[in-house]
Amino acid sequence: MPDVARALPPKELLWLGCREKTCCYTTKVILTGRDVWRIAQALELQPWDFTLYCDAEDGAVDGFQLAPGGPFYQVMLAKRAASGPTGAPCIFLWRLAGGHAQCGLGGLRPLPCQVYPAVLVEGMLACQDGACTCRRWSVVDLDGAQETARLRQLLAETAKYRAIVAAWNAQVAAQTGARTYREFCAYVLDAYAARAESAP
């Protein structure tokens, strides 16, 4: 066990040791298409079983439409219940017998969850201000090279997903009727399956 603990970066150990996992209640986790595809494939679930769509944030590059000229949406991890004053637990959050909260996805966690609360500000590694109510995070808690690599991976995955969403939106714009969220999810899964098959 000590060898496993030594292999984990400090941030991961701090997060695993957090009893409450408040961030898993209060954070709206916006997923990339690759995250949706990875989780759906690994758990043999349909995306609509563990995601919802929500109004797209201002300036979101991955906003998809369901009707021509309609509003833009983004894909988010579902919650177990309606949000209240303290939020609601992520659909994958487990509460163990002793009361300790744990992510049921483990290594499958979406990239936004893996990098949290790290962000890139003008290319420099930083922590989101007030991102966590359980503790105050500092860049000292982060493994600089690993976090920067993950954040760059997230940017790259978002760029690929953006292209898939743009192609979907072009199809929606060319039609007269509305499409469903399930149709969008199926489109995303097909797009990533095709990429996986064409990869060397």
97 located within any domain: yes
pLDDT tens string 89-129 = 999 999 888 888 889 998 899 998 888 877 777 776 766 76
Helix (H) or strand (E) holding 105: none
Q: Does any domain span residue 91?
A: yes
pLDDT of the residue at 139: 65
Question: What span, in angstroms and rounded, lies between the C-alpha atoms of 49 and 90?
Answer: 13
> Does residue 200 form part of some domain?
no
Asked whether the bond before 85 is cis by omega within 30 degrees of 0, the reply is no
Structural domain that includes position 15? 2-191
What global pTM score does this model have?
0.84
Task: Flag whether pLDDT at 5 surpasses 50.
Answer: no
Q: Where is pLDDT greater, at 138 or 88? A: 88
Say if 17 falls within a structural domain: yes
DSSP state of 32: P
Domain count, the chain: 1
Render pLDDT for 27-82 as a digit per residue (tens, 0 to 9). Answer: 889 999 999 999 999 999 999 999 999 999 999 999 999 999 999 999 999 999 87
Q: Which pLDDT score, from 0 to 100, does residue 77 have?
A: 96
In a domain, 83, yes or no: yes
Percent of the chain's residues with pLDDT above 90: 50
Report yes or no on 34 lying in a domain.
yes
Q: Is 30 a member of any domain?
A: yes
Q: Residue 8 pLDDT more than 70?
A: no
What pLDDT, on a 0 to 100 scale, did the predictor assign at position 2? 47
Report the pLDDT value the prediction gives residue 1, as an integer from 0 to 100. 45
> For the chain, what percentages of helix, strand and coil (3-state, to nearest 5) are there?
45, 15, 40
Any domain includes 196: no
